[in-house]
């Protein structure tokens, strides 16, 4: 159950806000965080610089010890990757990934088992973020890497122009919500396939076979002077009569050729969309939705994501909401929403934007405008009764397990043992003492997001 009202904008660090949101209470998260681009953005993006312009760049001074411990405890392998990124790339990347990972961990906690998450980023940090997403949401739950062609005007005389953003899409489990989305057919495909038009206002159509591929004795009859096909027709005489009265049958000039069915282009759902999105234009200076927010994303992009991964009434969270594109899109599609941004400027823009959208008369926004809550506090969880894991659980387990790995039973120093969720968090296992054990690195990686039974089976094969 959600403990935050629909249509709430929080102006506060999203880590504090998300820590106050009930577990398993959100259906869909879209996040468009700062990308570690080392560029200046006008809108402030870090708590230290709140209210002022801020660089999208991180240093290890921004990292709290508590975050490092939390990552080491829950995702020891990822902790190694982050440290390695610090050596291989830069300390800035290490700091950025730490900052992002603790937030991703809260997102994983607040999403329902049927939920989904979309992380919008660009190639600057995408390949490092993918590793963090795999660890936190489970690599089995990775669904797609969407490439969005975000601009057509960019040109670069010394490089292939970088025109794409990347959106990582993960589900929380195998039991996730999915509504396939359709787009326009390729004009070339339409041109070659929908070749006919009767100029009766019904538009172009293509012709389909009306003969049955399998033997159907009960569909063998003569139709308008055309003998039954050897295996029968595809339709009963009743359906044939209806199709004929609707003008949907095209008759050939010879009785030896077969009549065919007209399929109209405007009745087709469109091309089923894939992970390459080239049909969503950037928010240009002409666009009605333009707010001048430096990193504003198009409504069409958010509407596509929200339609595919939520149903009406579901709760959408955008923890880096900026000028609240995701919130406006959610509202237009009848979803509930919560937006979080650290910048007060963002809230001003949200309100300004809602006014503008109202005057555009696009949706039922007047009602919405009056009912948006503006909060600067962090919410308080109402499900906190759920037992939490104790702080010194690692030491306690080390003694309880007689200093041994719970899998292979080899005795090891504590620092070589890693905390493992017996039922993985990606499979709904709770973060409580009773669901924790210490494993050596080999056992932990062998088990992965699987069960102890699986690990035991692998161990018995290993000897």
Ligand X SMILES: C[S@@+](CC[C@H](N)C(=O)[O-])C[C@H]1O[C@@H](n2cnc3c(N)ncnc32)[C@H](O)[C@@H]1O
In the complex, which residues of this chain contact ligand X (CB under 6 A)?
13-14, 32-34, 43-46, 293, 295-297, 320, 322-323, 325, 340-343, 346
Backbone angles phi, psi at 365, to 5 degrees: -80, -20
Interface with Zn ion includes 408 (CB under 5 A)? yes
> Considering beta carbons, is residue 323 or 406 the nearer one to ligand X?
323
- 323 touches which of Zn ion, ligand X, none (CB within 5 to 8 A by kind)? ligand X
Pairing of strands 417-421, 436-440: antiparallel
- Rounded Cα distance, 407 and 442, in Å: 9
- Rounded Cα distance, 349 and 323, in Å: 6
Please list, residue by residue across 169-207, b when 16 or more beta carbons sit within 10 angstroms of its beta carbon and e when fewer do. bbbbbeebbeeebebebeeeebeebbeeeeeeeeebbbb
> Considering beta carbons, is residue 226 or 297 the nearer one to ligand X?
297
- 8 touches which of Zn ion, ligand X, none (CB within 5 to 8 A by kind)? none
Task: Compute, in degrees rounded to 10, the torsion defined by CA atoms 44, 50, 56, 60.
Answer: -170
> Considering beta carbons, is residue 305 or 440 the nearer one to ligand X?
305
- Rounded Cα distance, 355 and 372, in Å: 12
- 13 touches which of Zn ion, ligand X, none (CB within 5 to 8 A by kind)? ligand X
- Rounded Cα distance, 394 and 380, in Å: 27
Calculate Rg over the CA atoms of the chain.
28
Number of residues that bind Zn ion (CB under 5 A): 5
* Paired tokens of 398: 């080390």
> Considering beta carbons, is residue 234 or 345 the nearer one to ligand X?
345
Backbone angles phi, psi at 363, to 5 degrees: -145, -170
Nearest distance, CB of residue 374 and ligand X, angstroms = 15
Interface with Zn ion includes 443 (CB under 5 A)? yes
Nearest distance, CB of residue 444 and Zn ion, angstroms = 8
Nearest distance, CB of residue 320 and ligand X, angstroms = 3
Whether 231 and 218 have beta carbons less than 8 Å apart is answered as no
Give the up-direction half-sphere exposure of residue 277: CA atoms within 13 A in the CB hemisphere. 23
> Considering beta carbons, is residue 235 or 442 the nearer one to Zn ion?
442
> Considering beta carbons, is residue 118 or 223 the nearer one to ligand X?
118
> Considering beta carbons, is residue 106 or 418 the nearer one to Zn ion?
418
Residue 374 β-bridge partners:
9
> Considering beta carbons, is residue 143 or 353 the nearer one to ligand X?
353
Nearest distance, CB of residue 341 and ligand X, angstroms = 4
> Considering beta carbons, is residue 33 or 92 the nearer one to ligand X?
33
DSSP letters of 133-171?
HHHHH-GGGEEEEEEEE--SS---TTS----EEEEEEEE
Interface with Zn ion includes 136 (CB under 5 A)? no
- Rounded Cα distance, 317 and 288, in Å: 24
- 320 touches which of ligand X, Zn ion, none (CB within 5 to 8 A by kind)? ligand X
* Paired tokens of 439: 């494993």
Q: Please identify, among the stretches 21-29, 73-81, 243-251, 400-408, the one whose residues bind Zn ion according to the rule CB under 5 A.
A: 400-408
Q: Please identify, among the stretches 28-36, 58-66, 243-251, 433-441, the one whose residues bind Zn ion according to the rule CB under 5 A.
A: 433-441
Residue 437 β-bridge partners:
420
Backbone angles phi, psi at 34, to 5 degrees: -55, 145
> Considering beta carbons, is residue 378 or 397 the nearer one to ligand X?
378
Interface with Zn ion includes 440 (CB under 5 A)? yes
> Considering beta carbons, is residue 36 or 426 the nearer one to ligand X?
36
Q: Please identify, among the stretches 22-30, 62-70, 283-291, 436-444, the one whose residues bind Zn ion according to the rule CB under 5 A.
A: 436-444
Nearest distance, CB of residue 403 and Zn ion, angstroms = 12
Nearest distance, CB of residue 291 and ligand X, angstroms = 8
Helices 91-110 and 126-137: crossing angle in degrees, nearest 10, is 40
Nearest distance, CB of residue 406 and Zn ion, angstroms = 7
Name, in order, each residue with C-beta under 8 angstroms of 231's C-beta and a sequence gap of 6 or more.
211, 212, 213, 214, 215, 216
Nearest distance, CB of residue 334 and ligand X, angstroms = 20
- 443 touches which of ligand X, Zn ion, none (CB within 5 to 8 A by kind)? Zn ion
Q: Which residue is nearest to ligand X (CB)?
A: 322
Whether 425 and 23 have beta carbons less than 8 Å apart is answered as no
Nearest distance, CB of residue 433 and ligand X, angstroms = 30
- Rounded Cα distance, 38 and 45, in Å: 12
- 343 touches which of ligand X, Zn ion, none (CB within 5 to 8 A by kind)? ligand X
Interface with Zn ion includes 405 (CB under 5 A)? yes
- 277 touches which of ligand X, Zn ion, none (CB within 5 to 8 A by kind)? none
Count the neighbouring beta carbons within 10 Å of the beta carbon of residue 417: 26
Chain residues binding Zn ion by CB under 5 A are 405, 407-408, 440, 443
């Amino acid at each position: 159950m959600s403990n935050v009202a629909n249509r709430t904008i929080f102006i506060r660090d999203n880590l504090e806000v998300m820590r106050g949101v009930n577990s398993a209470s959100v259906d869909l998260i879209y996040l468009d965080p700062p990308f570690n681009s080392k560029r200046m953005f006008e809108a402030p993006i870090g708590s230290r610089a709140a209210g002022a312009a801020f660089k999208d760049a991180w240093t290890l001074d921004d990292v709290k010890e508590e975050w490092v411990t939390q990552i080491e405890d829950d995702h020891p392998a990822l902790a190694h990757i982050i440290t390695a990124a610090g050596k291989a790339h830069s300390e800035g990347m290490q700091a950025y990934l730490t900052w992002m990972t603790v937030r991703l961990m809260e997102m994983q906690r607040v999403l329902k088992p049927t939920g989904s998450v979309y992380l919008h980023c660009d190639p600057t940090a995408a390949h490092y973020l993918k590793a963090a997403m795999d660890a936190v949401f489970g690599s089995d739950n990775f669904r797609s890497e969407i490439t969005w062609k975000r601009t057509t005007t960019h040109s670069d005389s010394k490089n292939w122009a970088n025109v794409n953003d990347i959106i990582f899409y993960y589900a929380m489990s195998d039991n996730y919500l999915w509504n396939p989305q359709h787009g326009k057919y390729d004009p070339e495909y339409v041109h070659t396939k929908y070749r006919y038009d009767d100029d009766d206002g019904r538009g172009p159509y293509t012709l389909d076979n009306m003969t049955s591929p399998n033997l159907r004795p009960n569909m063998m009859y003569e139709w308008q002077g055309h003998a039954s096909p050897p295996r029968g027709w595809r339709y009963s005489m009743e359906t044939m009569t209806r199709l004929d009265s609707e003008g949907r049958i095209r008759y050939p000039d010879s009785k030896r050729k077969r009549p065919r069915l007209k399929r109209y282009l405007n009745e087709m759902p469109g091309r089923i969309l894939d992970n390459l999105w080239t049909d969503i234009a950037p928010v240009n200076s002409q666009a009605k939705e333009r707010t001048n927010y430096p990193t504003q994303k198009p409504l069409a992009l958010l509407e596509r994501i929200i339609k595919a991964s939520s149903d009406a009434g579901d709760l959408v969270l955008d923890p880096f909401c900026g000028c609240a594109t995701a919130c406006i899109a959610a509202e237009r599609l009848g979803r509930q929403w919560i937006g979080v941004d650290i910048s007060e400027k963002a809230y001003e823009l949200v309100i300004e934007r809602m006014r503008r959208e109202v005057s555009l008369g696009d949706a039922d926004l007047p009602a919405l405008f009056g009912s948006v809550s503006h909060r600067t506090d962090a919410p308080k969880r109402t499900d906190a009764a759920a037992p939490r894991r104790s702080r010194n659980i690692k030491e306690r387990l080390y003694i309880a397990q007689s200093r041994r790995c719970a899998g292979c039973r080899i005795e090891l120093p504590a620092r070589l043992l890693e905390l493992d969720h017996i039922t993985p968090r990606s499979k709904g296992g709770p973060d409580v003492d009773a669901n924790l054990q210490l494993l050596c690195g080999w056992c932990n990686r062998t088990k992965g997001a699987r069960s102890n039974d699986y690990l035991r089976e692998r161990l018995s094969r290993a000897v």
